[in-house]
Homo-oligomer: A and B are copies of this chain.
Amino acid sequence: MSWNQQVGKKFNKQQIMNYIFSKDVVSRSEIIEETGLKKATVANLVTELLEEQLVLEDGKDQSTGGRRSQLLRFHQNAGFALGIDIGVNYLHGVVVNLKGEIIFEQLQPIYTIQRENYLQNVLALIDTLQKNVPISPYAVIGLGVAVPGSIYQDGTIMNAPNLHWENFDFHHFLQQHIDYPFYISNEANAGAYAGYVVEHHKEIPNLLYVSIGVGLGVGIVIDHTIYLGAQGFSGESGHMIIQMNGRLCKCGRKGCWEAYASEYALIREATYLLKEHDLSLERLINLAENGHADVLQLFADIGYHIGLGMTNLIHTFNPEKIIIGNRMTLAQKFIAPSIEEAIRSNTMPFHLDALSIDYSSLKEHSIVLGAAAFIIDRFIQLPFE
């Protein structure tokens, strides 16, 4: 790629766009200060953005001793993205505007993971979502789909263990039914991106999102970008071995982090402990809330192992932010103390100086919003001719 004036112009326009996007309202003068561009340049590029309906004029600012400036606002309803979270026992869809605000939402239970069947539900959901997109200049700008599994970079699902889907060309499937852009991502990566974009407004360039559900996966944001790895299988840290010859993991190997720190691990141990069948995370939380000592200890154990695996990530990544997300956060109050304890006692202290650990504030919306955020970002990155 080489440079020419068109590329330069696009770049500057993008800068201005990003700045307007990042603020609620801005004046042209603020843009001039921020970007270092000259008055005329900013004026020209803003005019184009106004014509493209990506930006709106919105009242005037207070005077600072002279002419009041025209305020600009990002046109957050210029277009809408669809997001779908393919869960093991639920299907979650949203319509969001360009700021990631939910305009329409549908959450439905799923009773069969049989693929053909499930995909019919997905198509019906897409249809519903489309019908709920408001009239706007750009209408549907695309669809993001998150899948709990390993996705090749070309959108083929290599393996979604809990759905029992394998080697399914999801990209090809969607291409046959949709004529707008779409992107298929891994569930942990979607969660990570939601954390990066929605929770932290793109202000933290490097962060980790630890998705603890039935399985355990990690989404890695490095330098403002999801790190995918060579094939797209990054973040399979659930299969990091923390105990040689340890507990058997679903993957067939022994001692994986996931075998000690996931919902699956929790329920397996609880079944053994309580000699009770059909246990669920919700049921166990209920027991814990009623002060069941064994269950409380079990959560503490799971928490400790979660924290222990996190220390391994901390030593490797020296991150400034880790977000814990997905279903296990429902038990936050029962696992948080032991997670903290495990990290405090197993991490070299200086690693903690720059680190903060959060529980995702987006709760069950993390994944679906992240899936949509990929699409929003792509739209905002290059809607230019």
Partner of A241, one of B227, B230, B312, B351: B312
**Do residues B2 and A15 form an inter-chain contact, with CB atoms below 8 A?**
yes
**Interface size on A (CB < 8 Å)?**
61
**Do residues A243 and B243 form an inter-chain contact, with CB atoms below 8 A?**
yes
Interface assignment of A173: CB less than 8 Å from any CB of chain B = no
**Do residues B7 and A241 form an inter-chain contact, with CB atoms below 8 A?**
no
**Do residues A348 and B318 form an inter-chain contact, with CB atoms below 8 A?**
no
Interface assignment of A232: CB less than 8 Å from any CB of chain B = yes
Interfacial residues of chain A within 8-24, with CB under 8 A of chain B in the complex:
8-9, 11-12, 15
> In the assembled complex, which residues on chain B have CB atoms less than 8 Å from the CB atom of A9?
3
**Do residues A244 and B243 form an inter-chain contact, with CB atoms below 8 A?**
yes
Of A220, A241, A253, most buried by chain B (CB within 10 Å of CB) is: A241
Partner of A316, one of B158, B218, B231, B251: B218
Interfacial residues of chain A within 305-359, with CB under 8 A of chain B in the complex:
308, 311-313, 315-320, 346, 348, 350-351, 353-355
Indicate how many identical chains form the complex.
2
Interface assignment of A235: CB less than 8 Å from any CB of chain B = yes
Interface assignment of A65: CB less than 8 Å from any CB of chain B = no
- Shortest distance between the CB of A21 and any CB in chain B (Å): 16
Q: Which residue of B lies closest to A227 (CB)?
A: B222
A318 to B225, CA, bound (A): 16
Interface assignment of A150: CB less than 8 Å from any CB of chain B = yes
> In the assembled complex, which residues on chain B have CB atoms less than 8 Å from the CB atom of A238?
315
Q: Which residue of B lies closest to A314 (CB)?
A: B236
**Do residues B230 and A320 form an inter-chain contact, with CB atoms below 8 A?**
yes
**Do residues B239 and A242 form an inter-chain contact, with CB atoms below 8 A?**
no
- With A7-B8, A15-B2, A346-B241 as known contacts, state yes or no: A351 contacts B318, CB within 8 Å: no
**Do residues B3 and A316 form an inter-chain contact, with CB atoms below 8 A?**
no
Q: Which residue of B lies closest to A260 (CB)?
A: B244
Interface assignment of A106: CB less than 8 Å from any CB of chain B = no
Partner of A231, one of B12, B222, B233, B353: B353
Of A8, A240, A253, A313, most buried by chain B (CB within 10 Å of CB) is: A240
Interface assignment of A109: CB less than 8 Å from any CB of chain B = no
Considering the complex of A and B, which 10 residue pairs feature the smallest CB-CB distances, nearest first?
Answer: A229-B318, A230-B320, A3-B8, A230-B354, A233-B318, A240-B312, A236-B315, A234-B318, A237-B316, A3-B11
